[in-house]
Chain A
Amino acid sequence: MKAVNWIRERGVMIFAILVVIYTLLPIAVIIAFSFNDPAGKFNFTWQGFTTQYWGDAFAISDLNKAMLTSLELAAAATIIATILGTMIALALVRYQFRGRRMANLLIVIPMTSPEVVIGAALLSMFVYFQVSTGFITLLIAHIMFSISFVVVVVRSRLIGFDRRLEEAARDLGADASTTFRTVTLPLIAPGLISAALLAFALSLDDFVISNFNSGTTVTFPLYIFGAAQRGIPVQVNVFATMLFMLTVVAMVVTVLQQRRAEKLASVRPDQEDGTTPGLPASAPATATS
C-alpha cells in the first residue's frame, strides 16, 4: 500500500518528468547524431563516434550560404517587425480609440491562420502582380507573420507597466522624448528583447510560408527540405545543435533580465509605506488617460 500511495502522491510529477524527457528526446537525437559517422548518405543509424563534422562544420558552401541568408533575413525581419509591433502595442494599451476591435482582429487572425494558407495567399498576390519571388518577398512575409507575435509579447509587458514612473519623470522636468528614452524604454526593454527573440526564432524556423515565396532563394529550413530526399549532411545536425545551445542561452538571459526588471518596476512608494500593497500597477495609469 505504501508504494501505491507514493505513486499517487507523485503521479502527476512523474508523468510531467516523462513528458519533459519526451520533448527533449529528438533534441538528444539531433545532438548525438552530430557526432555520428554515417556509412552512406543517410544519417539514420548509429555507426560510430566522430568529431569530424564539428571540425568540418562549415565545409558545405550551399549550407553556409543558406544559413547566412536565413540569418540576414531573420535580422532584417526582426528589426522591422519589432518596431511596427511595439508601436501597435503602445497604441492598444495606452489609448482609447474607435476601431480597436478591428485592430485586434487584424492582429489575431494571422496568428490563427494555417501557414499553408498564408503562404498560398501571398503567392497568389505575387503571381497576380507578376512580382518575382526571392529575398524581398521572403522579407515581406516574415515581417507580416512576426508582427502579431511582437504585439502580443510587448502588450503583456506594457499592461504591467506603472505609468506613475513616467509621470514622476515629467514632474521632475523631463520632456516627452527624454521620458520615453530614460524611463519607458528601459522598463519595456525586456519585453522588446523577448519579442525580438521570438520574431527572430520564428523567422529562422519558418519553412511553410517561405516555401511558397522564396523563388530561387534558399534559407536554412528550405535547404534541409531540399536535402531530405538525398540525405541530410551531418553538418545540419551540427548547425542545429549550435542553434539549440544559443536558444537556451538566450532564454536563460531573458528570464534573468525579466526578473531584474520586475524588481526594478516593483519599487513603488505606495508599497514601501504599505498602505495599498494590493493596488494593481496599471489602475492609476488608465485612470489618467
Chain B
Amino acid sequence: MGAWAKSKGTPYFLMGPGLLWLTIFFVLPMLFMLSVSLYQGSLDTTFEMTWHFENFKTAITDFDTQFVRSFIYAGAATLLCLVIAYPLSYAIAFKAGRWRQVMLLCVIAPFFTTYLIRTYAWQTILSNDGTVVNVFQTLGILGDDGTLLKTPTAVIAGLTYNFLPFMVLPIYASLEQMDTRLIEAGRDLYSNARTAFFKITLPISMPGVIAGTLLTFIPAVGDYVNATFLGSPNQAMIGNVIQSQYLVTKDYPIAAAISFIMMALIVLMIAIYIKFAGEESLMGDEAEVVTAK
C-alpha cells in the first residue's frame, strides 16, 4: 500500500467530484421541485411561495385517472415482463450451452437502438393495415374494424417490450451465478424436477426477480413515450401529464406536486423492497468489504 492509500481523506477526494455533481444536479433539483410544488401563481403573473398544500390535493383529484392508469399499465407490463423474462433467462443460463453469449447479445442489442425508433417500429407493426391486425381480424380476435393502436393493449405491449431487459438482466445474473450442484442435490432429495425447481432454483433467483420487478416497474410507471406513440389521449399516463404540465401548460406548481407524489410512491416501494430483500441486493456487491472486517 502506498502512502496515498493510507490517507483517510483519499476516498472522499476520489468520490467528491462525482457525488458533488449528483448532489447539485439531482438532489438539489428534487428539493427545488418540492418547494415549487408549494408555490402559487401562473406564468403570466409570478409564482410565489405560499406553502400552498392545496396543489397536492388538486394534483390527486384532477389526475387520479392517470395515476391509477399508470399503475395498472405498468403493473401489467411488469407482470408480462416477468412471465417472458424468467423462462428466457432460465433457458439462457442453463440450456443455451455455447449459444449463451449469442442469445444474451440478441436480447440486449436491440435495446441499444434508439428507444423512440423502436417504439415507432411497433407503431408500424401494429398499424391498422399491418400484418398483425390483419391476422387478428382473420382469426376473429379483433373485429373487422378493430384496431390495436390507440388501445390500452398497444401501450402495455409497448411498455413490456421496451423494459424487458431490465427484467432479464437481474434474473439472468441471479441464475447464472447459481451453483448447479444444488439442483442435482435437489433432484436427489426431491426426485422430481418440478419440486426441485420450486424448492431450490426459484428461491435462489428471488433477489433477481424482485430487483427486476422494481427496475421494470419504475421506468414503466413514469413512461410517456409508449402512451404517446401507441396510445391516444384516452391512454395518457402520469408521465404525459407531467410532460404537458411542464412544457405546454407551464403550470409548474401542479406539475411539481404530481412529480413529487410519484417520487414519494417510488421511494416507498424501494424502502419496502430493501426491507425484504436487503440493502446489498440494490446497492451492489459489498460482500468483499464486509467479509474483510
Interface residues of A, Cβ cutoff 8 Å to B: 12-13, 15-16, 19-20, 22-27, 29-30, 33, 43-45, 84-85, 87-88, 90-97, 101, 103-110, 112-118, 120-125, 127-128, 140-141, 143-144, 147-148, 151-152, 155-156, 159, 170, 175-176, 179, 201, 204-205, 207-208, 211-212, 220-221, 224-225, 228, 232, 236-237, 240, 243-244, 247-248, 251-252, 255, 282-283, 285-289
Instruction: Tell me if B56 is interfacial: C-beta within 8 Å of chain A.
Output: no
A121 touches B114 (CB 8 A): no
How many angstroms between the C-alpha atoms of A116 and B242 in the bound complex?
7
Interface string of B81-93 (1 = CB under 8 A from A): 0001001101110
| Interface size of B in residues (CB-CB distance below 8 Å) | 94
Main secondary structure of the interface of A (DSSP, over half): helix
Of A103, A124, A148, most buried by chain B (CB within 10 Å of CB) is A124
B114 touches A84 (CB 8 A): no
How many angstroms between the C-alpha atoms of A241 and B215 in the bound complex?
28
B-side contacts of A85, CB under 8 Å: 18
Instruction: Tell me if B76 is interfacial: C-beta within 8 Å of chain A.
Output: no
B-side contacts of A289, CB under 8 Å: 1, 5, 292
Q: Which of B28-63 contact A (CB under 8 A)?
A: 28-30, 32-33, 36
B22 touches A15 (CB 8 A): no
Q: How distant is B107 from chain A, measured CB to nearest CB, in Å?
A: 5
A-side contacts of B291, CB under 8 Å: 283, 286
B122 touches A26 (CB 8 A): yes
How many angstroms between the C-alpha atoms of A67 and B266 in the bound complex?
34
Complex: chain A residue closest to B224, CB-CB = A116
Instruction: Tell me if B200 is interfacial: C-beta within 8 Å of chain A.
Output: no
Cβ-neighbour of A110 out of B26, B84, B95, B243 (below 8 A): B26
A121 touches B30 (CB 8 A): yes
A115 touches B222 (CB 8 A): yes
Cβ-neighbour of A115 out of B19, B109, B113, B219 (below 8 A): B219
B91 touches A15 (CB 8 A): yes
Q: Which of B239-258 contact A (CB under 8 A)?
A: 239, 242-243, 246-247, 252, 255-256
